[in-house]
């Protein structure tokens, strides 16, 4: 094992796959000369050259369309968006071309492509630069959606995504690029669609993904001090959803909290809650708790940011309510 930063895990994954397969290339805003907006492609231009590490104009719809066409013709593009907020402009190519091409072509064209970039809140960036897009894209058949929470998962899942024959979207927290974590030495892959049981427990299940996992883990530690044993599950992949791991946990703990940074309506939380009540209703000893961002555009003021997002204290409070230890 070795300790590396989240951004270094991205560089390692992409570089290893580009050495392995000459069809793989990287394109996006500032990925080449500037080494990436978050330095997540550092050194790659020097190693692979300008034919395989390509700086694009600020034209997300245009270069995403080029990438889809390249994928249809046998290449395996990695497209970096500076932020998924800007990728709204590319949504037509992602949703109407990449996601649907296999079906619309009668199985003639796969679209092996990875779209990746910064996602979710990163401090005082206000409403237009602070959205979490997992629910939006996981709504679309034909797409796979991944949100890693640590460097080891980032590297293993990105390598799997690059080898996948379908479009894969990877949402990376802007605040995690400098995070350090232990990563296995040598070659390894993490399968898409498999959740990770981060901490085993017996009293309540906490399900989440992405950087908010930090708060879930801290909440589990606080609950343990009060004698409450929380099982913590990192979804890692939003679509396809590993519902079996969640169901097995809920059948053991009989209580569930789902936490995410997205808006509440049409959230990942809502989908998980539906599937759990449909398949494990008789095992539930309390209503499912859901913690999301507030149902408002994301604020700029720090006091309002604290109100808008889930945090450790809110997760602990929800757990106690599910345990009937504190009234809601």
Residue 243 shares a structural domain with residue 126 = no
Q: What is the pLDDT of residue 125?
A: 87
Question: In this structure, what is the dihedral angle of CA atoms 199, 201, 203, 204, given to the nearest 10 degrees?
Answer: 30
pLDDT in tens, 7-56: 999 999 999 999 999 999 999 999 999 999 999 999 999 999 999 999 99
Residue 33 shares a structural domain with residue 168 = yes
Tell me if 28 sits within 8 A of 2, measured CB to CB. Answer: no
In a domain, 190, yes or no: no
Of 160, 183, 206, which residue sits at a domain end?
A: 183
In a domain, 191, yes or no: no
Tell me if 168 sits within 8 A of 113, measured CB to CB. Answer: yes
d(CA 143, CA 103): 12
Which residues make Cβ contacts (< 8 Å) with residue 316, sequence separation at least 6? 219, 222, 223
Tell me if 237 sits within 8 A of 194, measured CB to CB. Answer: yes
pTM of the model: 0.96
pLDDT in tens, 256-307: 999 999 999 999 999 999 999 999 999 999 999 999 999 999 999 999 999 9
How confident is residue 123, by pLDDT bands cut at 50, 70 and 90?
confident
What is the span of the domain harbouring residue 45?
Answer: 2-183
Residue 85 shares a structural domain with residue 200 = no
Ordered strands of the 196-199 beta sheet: 196-199, 230-234, 204-208, 256-259, 289-291
Residue 12 shares a structural domain with residue 138 = yes
Q: Which residues are catalytic?
A: 60, 129
Sequence-ordered alpha helix ranges (H) in 139-253: 151-163, 213-225, 243-253
Residue 140 shares a structural domain with residue 247 = no
In a domain, 129, yes or no: yes
Residue 154 shares a structural domain with residue 224 = no
Please classify residue 107 by burial: count the beta carbons closer than 10 Å to its beta carbon, then call 0-12 exposed, 13-18 middle and 19+ buried: exposed
In a domain, 328, yes or no: no
pLDDT in tens, 297-323: 999 999 999 999 999 999 999 999 999
CATH code for position 280: 3.40.50.920
Residue 13 shares a structural domain with residue 132 = yes
Of 183, 216, 246, which residue sits at a domain end?
A: 183
Residue 212 shares a structural domain with residue 126 = no
Residue 53 shares a structural domain with residue 177 = yes
What is the count of structural domains for the chain?
2
């Amino acid at each position: 094992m070795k300790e590396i930063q989240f951004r270094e895990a991205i560089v390692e994954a992409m570089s290893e796959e580009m050495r392995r397969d000459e069809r793989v290339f990287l394109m996006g805003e500032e990925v080449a000369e500037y080494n990436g907006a978050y330095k997540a492609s550092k050194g790659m231009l020097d190693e692979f050259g300008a034919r395989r590490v390509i700086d694009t104009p600020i034209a997300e719809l245009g270069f995403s369309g080029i990438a889809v066409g390249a994928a249809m013709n046998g290449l395996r593009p990695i497209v970096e968006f500076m932020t998924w907020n800007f990728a709204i402009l590319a949504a037509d190519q992602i949703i109407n071309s990449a996601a649907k091409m296999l079906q619309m072509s009668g199985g003639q064209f796969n679209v092996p492509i990875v779209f990746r970039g910064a996602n979710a809140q990163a401090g005082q960036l206000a409403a237009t630069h602070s959205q979490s897009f997992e629910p939006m894209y996981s709504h679309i058949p034909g797409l796979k959606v991944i949100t890693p929470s640590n460097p080891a998962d980032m590297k293993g899942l990105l390598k799997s995504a690059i080898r996948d024959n379908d479009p894969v979207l990877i949402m990376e927290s802007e605040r995690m690029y400098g995070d350090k974590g232990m990563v296995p030495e040598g070659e390894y892959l993490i399968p898409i669609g498999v959740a990770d049981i981060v901490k085993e427990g017996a009293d309540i299940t906490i399900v989440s993904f992405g950087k908010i996992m930090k708060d879930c883990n801290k909440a589990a530690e606080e609950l343990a001090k009060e004698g409450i044993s929380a099982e913590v599950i990192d979804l890692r992949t939003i679509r396809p959803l590993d519902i079996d791991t969640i169901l097995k946990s809920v059948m053991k703990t009989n209580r569930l909290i789902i936490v995410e940074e997205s808006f509440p309506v049409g959230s990942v939380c809502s989908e998980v809650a539906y599937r759990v009540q449909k398949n494990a209703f008789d095992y539930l000893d309390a209503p499912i708790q859901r913690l999301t961002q507030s149902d408002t555009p994301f604020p700029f003021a720090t006091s309002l940011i604290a109100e808008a997002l889930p945090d450790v204290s809110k997760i602990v409070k929800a757990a106690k309510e599910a345990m009937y230890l504190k009234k809601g």
